[in-house]
Amino acid sequence: MPPTIAIVGRPNVGKSTLFNRLTAKRAALVSDMPGLTRDRRAGEAEIAGHKVTVVDTAGLEEAAPGTIAARMRAQSETAIAQADLVLFVLDARDGVVPADAAFARAVRQSGRPVILIANKCEGRAGADGFYEAFQLGLGEPIAISAEHGEGIGDLIEAMLAALALPPRRRRKDGSDREPEEGEPPTSPHPIRIAIVGRPNSGKSTLVNSLLGEERMLTGPEPGLTRDAVATDFVWGGRQVRLFDTAGLRRKARIFEAAEKLAASDAVRAIRFAEVVVLLVDAEHPFEHQDLTIADLVAEEGRALVIAVNKWDLVSNQQRTLKQLGETVAERLAQVSGVPLVAVSALAGRGLDKLMAAVFRSYELWNRRVPTPDLNRWLAEALERHAPPASKGRRVKIRFMTQPSARPPTFIAFCSRPDALSKAYLRYLTNSLREAFDLPGVPIRFKLRKGENPFAKR
């Protein structure tokens, strides 16, 4: 009999969305309306080659006996009692609320293995809620976005470990054999790449060149593309899902409703993507809007690659490329080392270099640094340049760890987080990027106040 996994949590935290994601079906209704799910819904899922039963439950709520909400809660408690594993879901954007703490105690008392999930962690809105989840006492949370599919790989690994199931890697031919030596491992999902830029920069032409066919409508008129179009293909043996997006202009220049919807869809594609290719026009490079888009990509924590299109129209290519590199280093200092690739989408030149830069950025975006290596680097960085004193008192940084990747996120525990200047944080971030070879990807550097060992005394 396959193991049973119950998904529980407050209403409207994304339980049904996670259920649909794990079962690869849209069986459960999903809406912003809380309390839409009332009964337990079971579905079959396959996780790393293992059959499991996933149960979607109603939201846990405090309710008076005999009410509908009380019966819904009883159904959820029955699902917990019958489960082999419980997935406790909270909304990272809302953070930990009193109801989460109360229901976490009930889940702990059930004696079932529990995995704590911080949902809706796409972008930066859920960062604080993710760190608050540690206080529930259910172990280290796993950051995911059930809607976008982010973090599902980490969740599956945790589920396999909790259920004591051996990891198995299915190949495209359906077999379970391990990859041979030197053979790249198969990815659980295609690498999601969004092509963004100003109108008429050649995004659809680039997509057509990568696909090798006229899949997208192109022409000299700006604004031909209205929505984000996704296309799956294989490049160098790797599965890729490519999103062609509408051109992004400044809000002050957008008047038509259709363009507003198209711009909103393009921004959504950036948040959905893992690697974003910013396409700039070589004849008018790095205008204000190009830099605004690049800043948006960095704020969303996505890996960034800059492609300079229409390169065949540039006369002095060597000097121009050097000037563009200096502009990128100066204007995009927050993501130092962004790859800059010259291409001609119409002629199909530079595509191999572009995709190589994309795959390299994807690997860096997923990189994890061992904690011992981090703390050795931290000791050396502090020795080279100690934190400046604030109000006559030293700031001590004691320990550092990396809780997550995608993008690489680091937490440093120190005595007075508010006393460290932004300049010193930039020093640590740049030194970290250089020491562990992390060019061109956003780095999240968080400060947390360490516990005072003498406070209880």
Are 217 and 273 part of one and the same domain? yes
Cα distance between residue 456 and residue 434, in whole Å:
40
Whether 94 is covered by a domain: the verdict is yes
Are 80 and 196 part of one and the same domain? no
Residue where one domain finishes, among candidates 341, 365, 389: 365
Please enumerate in sequence order all residues whose Cβ is within 8 A of that of 221, keeping only pairs 6 or more positions apart, or say none. Answer: 200
The CATH number covering residue 386 comes to: 3.30.300.20
Whether 375 is covered by a domain: the verdict is yes
Are 205 and 305 part of one and the same domain? yes
Q: Which pLDDT tens digits describe the chain residue by residue (457 residues)?
A: 788 999 988 888 888 888 888 887 654 434 444 444 445 677 788 888 888 988 888 766 666 666 656 666 677 788 888 889 999 998 888 888 888 888 888 888 888 899 999 888 877 777 788 888 888 888 888 888 888 888 888 888 888 888 888 765 544 444 444 444 444 444 457 899 999 998 888 888 898 899 887 654 455 555 545 556 667 889 999 999 888 887 776 665 554 555 565 667 778 888 889 999 999 999 888 888 899 999 999 999 999 999 999 999 998 899 999 999 999 988 888 888 999 999 999 999 999 999 999 999 999 999 999 999 999 999 999 999 998 887 778 888 988 999 889 899 999 998 888 888 889 999 999 999 999 999 989 999 888 886 655 555 5
Radius of gyration of the chain (CA): 24
Residue 189: per-residue pLDDT: 79
Whether 180 is covered by a domain: the verdict is no
Output the six-digit token pair for 127.
Answer: 């960062």
Cα distance between residue 387 and residue 378, in whole Å:
12
Residue 443: per-residue pLDDT: 93
Cα distance between residue 129 and residue 132, in whole Å:
5
Residue 129 contacts residue 144 (beta carbons within 8 Å): no
Cα distance between residue 307 and residue 340, in whole Å:
6
Cα distance between residue 324 and residue 321, in whole Å:
5
CB count in 10 Å sphere of residue 41:
19
Are 210 and 357 part of one and the same domain? yes
Whether 418 is covered by a domain: the verdict is yes
Are 340 and 197 part of one and the same domain? yes
Residue 266 contacts residue 252 (beta carbons within 8 Å): no
Residue where one domain finishes, among candidates 331, 365, 399: 365
Is the alpha carbon torsion for 149, 150, 153, 157 positive or negative? negative
Any idea what the Cα angle at residue 453 is, between residues 452 and 457, rounded to 5°? 105
Are 308 and 242 part of one and the same domain? yes
CB count in 10 Å sphere of residue 419:
17
Are 152 and 10 part of one and the same domain? yes
Task: Classify each residue of 168-178 as buried b or exposed e, where b means 16 or more C-beta atoms within 10 Å of its C-beta.
Answer: eeeeeeeeeee
Number of domains making up the chain? 3
Whether 185 is covered by a domain: the verdict is no
CA distances for 89 relative to 55, 94, 130, 138, 171, angstroms: 13, 12, 11, 11, 31
Are 130 and 242 part of one and the same domain? no
Residue 186 contacts residue 174 (beta carbons within 8 Å): no
Whether 181 is covered by a domain: the verdict is no
User: Concatenated DSSP letters for 93-152?
Assistant: TT---HHHHHHHHHHHHTT--EEEEEE--SSSTTHHHHHHGGGGSS-S-EE-BTTTTBTH
Are 223 and 271 part of one and the same domain? yes
The CATH number covering residue 16 comes to: 3.40.50.300
User: Concatenated DSSP letters for 82-95?
Assistant: H-SEEEEEEETTT-
Residue where one domain finishes, among candidates 365, 398, 423: 365
Please enumerate in sequence order all residues whose Cβ is within 8 A of that of 358, keeping only pairs 6 or more positions apart, or say none. Answer: 191, 193, 275, 277, 305
Backbone angles phi, psi at 363, to 5 degrees: -65, -40
Q: Which residues pair with 21 in a beta bridge?
A: none
Residue 112: per-residue pLDDT: 86
Are 389 and 360 part of one and the same domain? no
Whether 173 is covered by a domain: the verdict is no
Are 64 and 111 part of one and the same domain? yes
SS3 368: coil
Cα distance between residue 105 and residue 102, in whole Å:
5
Residue 398 contacts residue 414 (beta carbons within 8 Å): yes
Output the six-digit token pair for 35.
Answer: 């309390």
Residue 35: per-residue pLDDT: 46
SS3 160: helix
Are 129 and 195 part of one and the same domain? no
Question: What's the domain range around 435?
Answer: 371-449
CB count in 10 Å sphere of residue 1:
6
CB count in 10 Å sphere of residue 356:
15
Whether 239 is covered by a domain: the verdict is yes
